[in-house]
Structure 1
Amino acid sequence: MPAPISIIIPTLDSAAVLGPCLASLSDGVFEGLIAELILADGGSTDDVEAVADAAGARLISAPKGRGSQLAAGCAAARGEWLLVLHSDTTLSREWTGAVRDHMNDKADRAGWFRLRFDSSVPQARIVAGWANLRARWFGLPYGDQGLLIPAHLYRTSGGYPDIPLMEDVALVRRLPLSPLDATATTSADRYRRQGWLRRGWRNLGTLALYFAGVSPHRLAERYARGR
């Protein structure tokens, strides 16, 4: 039986952080789960080509922006399942079993991982806890939590929109979802730089404005000004 999963990772000057992400996927290669690895690059000026070559990944170019990059990566994928991850995210050791269980038992649904941050401060646990509750109660996992989705469901749902922000929310609102019994640990660097409370409120405010009808392009401009 062919390996079922295409891994899609958007990259933009991400070579320095890709190593741990790719290493966490190695069990999926050994267990015959991963058919291909696609890096959807938005114009990096670092050594992402060398990283792609070393990892045996396909490197494709797309207009800068996570929505356009993910749309291009998913369009190029050949697997029966798509697993979308951010470049600064690593999966826990049990991810392969959780993914197998999901593919066997919930073949008509997308799945998301529990979120953790690579930080031991209390704020990290609070922010991650809220994200996991939001995903479970409201069906709104963010991209940091990863997304496992049947390729046919991705296509029929319309896929990732070509927007500069909130592409993850726009997609998951159209999907049936279930949690995966494994953890995605993502970098807390942005929270460390900007402050846990400040960034948390900005994220919540951005989500509220999006639901209020503010365009993703205006939100992206607002988000950039706040960096």
Structure 2
Amino acid sequence: MTWRLGMVRPDPGDRSQWSVVIPVLQEAQQLPSLLAQLQGQEEVWVVDGGSRDGSGQIARSMGAHWLRSEASRGVQLRLGAAQATRPWLLFLHADARLPSQWPLALARVLRDPAVAAAAFRLRVNGRGWKLRLLEQLVDWRCRCRGLPYGDQGLALAADVYQRSGGYQPIPLMEDLELVQRLHRHGDVVQAPAAVQVSARRWQRLGVWRSSWRNAQLRRAWRKGVPIDQLAGLY
């Protein structure tokens, strides 16, 4: 049965009550491992921004719903959420690897009526003290400021998502923009489990250079620099 606004939320510990939305673009290498973890009763939507590497065929062959979209993460996430039919929503990047018993980990925090949304703790699949320090800084930011980013996943009730206005159709900062609005509806917290992500984005530029660039982009966005201009720099 399709969940609708006004219906009672079922328990988030039941994985059959989850819709999982995954935006992709050229993710044929990363996507299979994530979809292999999502072979239960959850509903899975893969929203493809124009891949030419077979990502769509992989999604369909592994039981996911597949949608074509323009290549804009905000647009892709918004489109997937609009198709979702379950009372709980989980948004993930394709390189994420979920912890075991992920619905139970999320349920431990989402059952609290004061909580609007939850993200996983971040673990980067790579070696070196710089990545371990990065993980600690992300953990501090989430605990002290309630600001997880999209690579940590985002889980929330569908009715909270709808009331917040959901993801905006923007190519950059879509995660931070939504999380800031979610604070009007309750706390944004970390679940007591970690999602593992690829180190590829930090390996390309280096941990410090990548972190500095992202911080500069966020600062410019807060000052009102247009998103399209920032996306070009990104």
Question: How high is the TM-score relative to the length of structure 1?
Answer: 0.90
Give the aligned partner of residue 200 of structure 1.
Answer: 211
Closer, same or farther: CA 196–103 of 1 in aligned 2, 3 Å: closer
Any conservation in 2 of the 1:102–1:180 contact (CA below 8 Å)? yes
For 1:173, which of 171, 180, 190 is the aligned residue?
Answer: 180
Any conservation in 2 of the 1:94–1:182 contact (CA below 8 Å)? no
State the secondary structure of the residue aligned to 1:117: strand
Is 1:21 matched with 2:34?
Answer: yes
Any conservation in 1 of the 2:110–2:156 contact (CA below 8 Å)? no
Query: Shift of the alpha carbon at 1:170?
Result: 0.5
Gaps of 5+ in 2: 1-9
Matches within 5 A, 1:21-60: 21-26=34-39, 29=40, 32=41, 34=42, 36-60=43-67
Is 1:97 matched with 2:96?
Answer: no
In the TM superposition, what whole-angstrom CA distance separates every residue of 1:137-167 from its partner, at most 9, and x where no partner exists? 1221100000001101111101101111000
Higher helix proportion (structure 1 or 2): 1
Give, as a single letter, the amino acid of the residue that structure 1 aligns with 2:202. Y
Query: Shift of the alpha carbon at 1:94?
Result: 4.0
**Pairwise CA RMSD:** 1.7
In the TM superposition, what whole-angstrom CA distance separates every residue of 1:184-218 from its partner, at most 9, and x where no partner exists? 11111121121111101101111111112112111
State the secondary structure of the residue aligned to 1:160: coil
Matches within 5 A, 1:1-227: 3-26=16-39, 29=40, 32=41, 34=42, 36-106=43-113, 109-175=116-182, 176=186, 177-223=188-234
Question: How high is the TM-score relative to the length of structure 2?
Answer: 0.87
Any conservation in 1 of the 2:46–2:67 contact (CA below 8 Å)? yes
Give the aligned partner of residue 4 of structure 2.
Answer: none
Any conservation in 1 of the 2:97–2:197 contact (CA below 8 Å)? yes
Task: Report the number of matched residues.
Answer: 217
Instruction: Report the identity percentage.
Output: 39
Closer, same or farther: CA 116–23 of 1 in aligned 2, 3 Å: same
